[in-house]
């Protein structure tokens, strides 16, 4: 478990792929962090989530008060999240927004773009910027900022525009990609729950497929 920062109120770490981000069951992020801290009863509380197969930065609260403050920042969008994705195809626009109506099918555990409002249909909005394009593999490196937090939002919004994320077979990517879902939690910005001061963390994905198709050292 790679812990990047820790104080009395927060803990920032890299979530591995395949680990559940919420709850404290055996093998969950909270369970693994408690083991890393050598304290089975350590106060470690989740304030945001990543899909189990998605990797990257996460912040956890170290007290109930800190969890409440950070959760409120998530709700009011003061807690900002940026992601990196490797997506199939070349984008027509180098930057823009994606806005859709999404419905999450709980029985299938899959989101879907809807054409009309309805029960449990929610607005989804994100901004994106294409950072690079690998012509040999027909893959784009994209930076994404979420303005809403819907289930599988990035994955379904990109797939609905014929830009499925590499490795995301649930939303249309093929078996030939040979990688996990190419979505990485890259940057987190929020107000420290104790000092109230702005704080930010960033971490680039490891230089393995498909991220090694691009020069990640140029990220800012």
What is the tens place of the pLDDT at every residue in 70-99? 999 999 999 999 999 999 999 999 999 999
- In this prediction, residue 40 carries a pLDDT of 94
**10 Å Cβ neighbour count for 98?**
20
For residue 185, what are the contacts with CB-CB under 8 A and spacing of at least 6? Answer: 15, 50, 54, 55, 56, 57, 58, 81, 83
Q: Give CA–CA dist 210/163, Å, rounded.
A: 15
Q: Give CA–CA dist 63/78, Å, rounded.
A: 19
* Predicted confidence (pLDDT) at residue 197 exceeds the cutoff of 90: yes
Does 39 participate in catalysis according to the annotation?
Answer: no
pTM: 0.93
- Confidence band (pLDDT; 50, 70, 90) for 177? confident
- In this prediction, residue 220 carries a pLDDT of 63
Q: Left (φ > 0), alpha (ψ -120 to 50) or beta: where does 105 sit? A: beta
What value does the mean pLDDT of the chain take?
Answer: 94
Q: Give CA–CA dist 187/196, Å, rounded.
A: 19
CB 85 within 8 A of CB 142: yes
Strands (E), 16-89: 45-46, 55-61, 80-88
Residue 210: cis peptide before it, omega within 30 degrees of 0: yes
* Residue of 7, 24, 51, 138 with catalytic role: 51
- In this prediction, residue 86 carries a pLDDT of 97
* Three-class secondary structure of residue 74 per DSSP: helix
Of all helices (H) and strands (E), which one includes residue 158?
A: helix 153-159
* Predicted confidence (pLDDT) at residue 141 exceeds the cutoff of 70: yes
- In this prediction, residue 188 carries a pLDDT of 97
Q: Give CA–CA dist 130/92, Å, rounded.
A: 10
What is the tens place of the pLDDT at every residue in 17-43? 999 998 889 999 999 999 999 999 999
């Amino acid at each position: 478990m790679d812990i990047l920062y820790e104080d009395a109120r927060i803990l920032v770490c890299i979530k591995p792929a395949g680990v559940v981000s919420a709850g404290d069951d055996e093998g969950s992020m909270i369970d693994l962090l408690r083991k890393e801290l050598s304290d089975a009863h350590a106060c470690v509380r989740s304030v945001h989530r990543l899909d189990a197969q998605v990797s990257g930065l996460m912040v956890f609260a170290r007290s109930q008060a800190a969890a409440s403050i950070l959760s409120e920042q998530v709700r009011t969008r003061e807690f900002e999240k940026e992601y990196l994705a490797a997506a199939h195809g070349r984008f027509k626009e180098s930057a823009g927004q994606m806005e859709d109506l999404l419905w999450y099918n709980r029985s299938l555990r899959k989101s879907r773009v809807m054409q009309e409002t309805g029960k449990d249909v929610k607005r989804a909005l994100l901004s994106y910027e294409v950072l690079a394009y690998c012509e040999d593999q027909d893959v784009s490196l994209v930076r994404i900022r979420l303005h809403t937090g819907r289930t599988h939002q990035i994955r379904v919004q990109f797939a609905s525009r014929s830009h499925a994320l590499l490795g995301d077979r649930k939303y249309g990517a093929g078996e030939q990609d040979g990688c996990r879902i190419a979505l990485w939690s890259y940057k987190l910005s929020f107000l420290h729950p104790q000092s109230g001061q702005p704080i930010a963390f960033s971490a680039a994905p490891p230089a393995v497929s498909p991220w090694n198709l691009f020069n990640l050292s140029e990220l800012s």
